[in-house]
Amino acid sequence: MKIIQLLVILVLFTACTVKPQPINYGSDVCHYCNMTIVDKQHASQMVTAKGKAFKYDAIECMVHSLQDEFKDTEMAHQLVADFYQPGELINATEASYLVSEQLQSPMGANLSAFKNTENGQKALEEFSGKIYTWKEIQEYLKL
C-alpha cells in the first residue's frame, strides 16, 4: 500500500513541475509579435509560477511582454539565449546584455545576451556598443 502512495505522490510532483519548454525553432511562434522563432542566438522564454510557458523570437519581445502583459504575474523562469551558445537558454536575471549595431536581433533592438559579465565584455570588445544588466535593459526598453 505504501508503494502505491509513494507512486501517486511521485506522479503528482512530476506532473506539477514548473519548467521551461523546448523551443521548436522554425515552427514555434513568438507570443509577443507572432513571428516564427528561428534565431537560436536571440530567442527567449518565460514560464509563470503556475507553469505556463511563453516563447519569444527576440529578447526585446520578452521584455516588452513582461512590461505590458505580465507586469503583475509571478514568473518561475525568465530565460534568454546565450549568444555564444546558440539554443542554450540562460537565466535572464544573471545575464549580461549588449546593444550593438553590429549584432542585429530579430526585432531591431540589436540586443544580445551573454551568460556572464566576462562574456559580455568580450563581445563589447569584439562588436562595440553598450553593456547592460537585466534591470538596466528593462529600463532601456521601457514602453
Structure confidence by residue, pLDDT tens digits, 28-78: 999 999 999 999 999 999 999 999 999 999 999 999 999 999 999 999 999
CA-atom Rg of the chain in angstroms: 17
**pTM exceeds 0.85:** yes
Runs of H (alpha helix) within the chain = 2-15, 59-68, 117-127, 134-140
Task: Tell me the residue type at 82.
Answer: D
C-alpha 10 chain-centroid distance: 29
The rounded distance, in Å, linking the Cα atoms of 110 and 29 is 20
The rounded distance, in Å, linking the Cα atoms of 91 and 47 is 12
Report the pLDDT value the prediction gives residue 15, as an integer from 0 to 100. 57
Report the pLDDT value the prediction gives residue 143, as an integer from 0 to 100. 72
State yes or no: pLDDT of 10 exceeds 60: no
